[in-house]
Amino acid sequence: MTVPAAPGPAPAAAPGPVLACRQWADRRADVDPLTGTVTSDPRSAAASPADDAALECALRMATAWGTHVVAVTVGPPGSEAVLREALAAGAERAVRVDAPEPGDAASVAAAIAGVAGMVGARAVLCGDMGWGRGSGAVPALVAAVLDARQALGLVDLATDPEQPGVVTGWRRLDGGRRQHLRAAAPFVASVEGGVALLRRAPLAGVLGAGQATIEVVAPAGTCPVPSWTPSSTGPGRPRTHVVDGPDPDDPVRRRVELLTGLTAERPARRVVRAEPVDAAHQLIAALADWGEWS
């Protein structure tokens, strides 16, 4: 399924920097199975493989677009380690949003969006999940705050030097399917850890990063998050349907066909190209036709 870029501002000829988000978290946090208490050691904290992949994508993107990378994290002074890694690998500038704890997704998103505005970023890249396998909501919230396009959960990301500000990529869908995306800046993208392997930082970069100045800014508050009331917090238990069985007098073959639907007529496959809202309506209508939506 190919989704063309939605109408928006024309791609910028000389885009601003690419913002690479890096979450600082303990890789080996110990969770007490009885109390749920989390004990973490800042020394084993690091960026996740997905954040490393996002940084690598940002560096490649910046090279292709003729711009530079700004690395950002939200956390205490200890989190500057992940920024220095980014500087060593090739980021030109690093910003830490000062926070004793990273906070919830809304406050982290607001902080990142604030930095994106501060540096004039045209693209924001994040890992799709950190070590804590959180909600994954931060990139979408950043996109909402920035009113930018979003391309989330990418398993492949490519840039074209001939089209600065434009990326193409694939993302994973349910059922083993893939969706091809094309997005023009400004956009927020999140990538899986396997998208790219972070380059080995050169020694000169490491030496320079150790002494580089990290900009520290205050948190920007929080961003509006859609509120909802969960209908249920337990496991999903769909109702059972009473389905009439085939006539027991039918031959075995006929009964197997009826039970498995092997020979049943299926509606013709249709490929629909539509705007998201219209596509959603068409999906609902199709489900209703099939008796799967009431």
Partner 1 sequence: MSAPGSLTASDNAASSDAARFDAVVVGAGPAGSAAALVLARRGHRVCLLERGPYPGSKNMYGGVVYPRILDELLPGWWEEAPVQRWVTRRATMMLTADQALTVDFRSEAWGQPPYNGATALRPDFDAWLAAKAVDAGALLVTSTTATGLLRDGPGGTVGGVTTDRPGGDLRARVVVACDGVNSFLAKEAGLYGKPDPANYTLGAKEVLALPAATIEDRFALGPGQGADFEIIGCTGDIAGGGFLYTNRDSLAVGVVLHLPALAAAGVRPEQLIAGLKAHPAVAPLVAGGELVEYSAHLIPEGGYDMMPTLTGPGMLVAGDAAAMCLAAGIWLEGVNFAIGSGMAAGESAAEALERGDVSEGGLSGYERRLRDGFVLQDHRRLRHAPHLLLSDRVQRRYPQLACDIVEDLFTVTNPEPKPGIGRLVRRRVASSGVRLRHLAADSWRALRTFG
Binding footprint of partner 1, residue count (CB under 8 A): 28
Site string for partner 1, 214-253 (x = CB under 8 A): -x--------------------------------------
Q: Return the residue of 22, 60, 93, 122 that touches partner 1, per CB under 8 A.
A: 93
Tell the smallest beta-carbon distance from residue 209 to partner 1 (Å): 5
Tell the smallest beta-carbon distance from residue 62 to partner 1 (Å): 11
Task: Considering the complex, state which of residue 69 and residue 138 has its C-beta at the smaller distance from partner 1.
Answer: 69
Q: Return the residue of 206, 225, 279, 286 that touches partner 1, per CB under 8 A.
A: 206
For position 98 contacting partner 1 by CB under 8 A, the verdict is no
For position 87 contacting partner 1 by CB under 8 A, the verdict is yes
Side-chain half-sphere CA neighbours of 208 within 13 A: 14
Q: Return the residue of 200, 253, 254, 273 that touches partner 1, per CB under 8 A.
A: 200
- DSSP helix, strand, coil percent of the chain (3-state; round to 5): 30, 20, 45
Tokens linked to 122: 């045209």
Q: Return the residue of 102, 130, 153, 205 that touches partner 1, per CB under 8 A.
A: 205
Torsion angle of the four alpha carbons 182, 186, 187, 193, in this order, in degrees rounded to the nearest 10: 90
Task: Considering the complex, state which of residue 119 and residue 157 has its C-beta at the smaller distance from partner 1.
Answer: 119
For position 209 contacting partner 1 by CB under 8 A, the verdict is yes
Torsion angle of the four alpha carbons 102, 104, 107, 112, in this order, in degrees rounded to the nearest 10: 60
Task: Considering the complex, state which of residue 92 and residue 98 has its C-beta at the smaller distance from partner 1.
Answer: 92
Strands (E) across the chain are located at 2-3, 18-21, 25-26, 30-31, 38-39, 45-46, 69-75, 93-98, 123-127, 149-159, 166-172, 178-184, 187-191, 215-217
Cβ pair 133, 175 in contact under 8 A: no
Tokens linked to 231: 């209908």
Indicate the DSSP class of residue 275: -
**Which amino acid does the sequence have at 230?**
P
For position 92 contacting partner 1 by CB under 8 A, the verdict is yes
Footprint of partner 1 on 5-34 (CB under 8 A) = 17
Footprint of partner 1 on 35-54 (CB under 8 A) = 43-44, 46
Backbone phi, then psi, for 72, in 5-degree steps? Answer: -135, 145
Residues that bind partner 1 (CB under 8 A): 17, 43-44, 46, 68, 70, 87-88, 90-93, 119, 200-213, 215
